[in-house]
Structure 1
């Protein structure tokens, strides 16, 4: 398994993940592809990045992005986005390693990370990895402080 920065997102690269995510009822990878193709979100601003995780057969098995939070008035808030791990590779530590990579990178640019999720499985995952539940915030369910005390 290798985690790399994706500097180009080709539809053929992500096709299998896209189909799987849609079959599970998730459409945020569809949005990722559309926004990327139209230049709306290509993860190229300061502090932004798109990652891919490749398996032993050199297939894309996970993807995740980090953006400057578009909903925040502050530039020191990053947003974890489009985080998806293929079902057959879940519960193998891949998501945790990918999230650690994102947090490590984000420490150079942001004071906190936020995200939105609407599934119980993702909620449990993020809370186990140190994200705190947030209530009554627009498009935010969890936050992670990067500030060193």
Structure 2
């Protein structure tokens, strides 16, 4: 299993984002975004489970739903996918009454926009794609001197 160095780049009440690096002080290979929807999960959050016998769509939800999105500049192997899912699981798997999902977004721009100066527009694009109405580009720069940007 690969070891990733995690650098938290944003910490809000409902969104956290981390750079995942292979080593100390090198360019990040991935960006992991945790989105807390603060609502019950539905079968719509897991479309691949629809119409499977034994999964009751009307009784599906838990109290909360969190999505882990990993941004990569290129396709990943199944082994890397599993390792990145394990990283997300370290944050999310022990939460009672909370379902979570994991997706990888391929965005070639991440290869050039993997630093603090450029990442926020990419994060905003991902949040919009995953239907999360938060404008992180309006966070005042001085807030990034604190552990939380709230």
Task: Mark yes or no: TM-score above 0.5.
Answer: no
The structure having more radius of gyration, on CA atoms, is 2
| TM-score using structure 2 length | 0.40
TM-score normalized with structure 1 length: 0.40
Structure with the bigger RCO (C-alpha within 8 Å, sep 6+) is 2
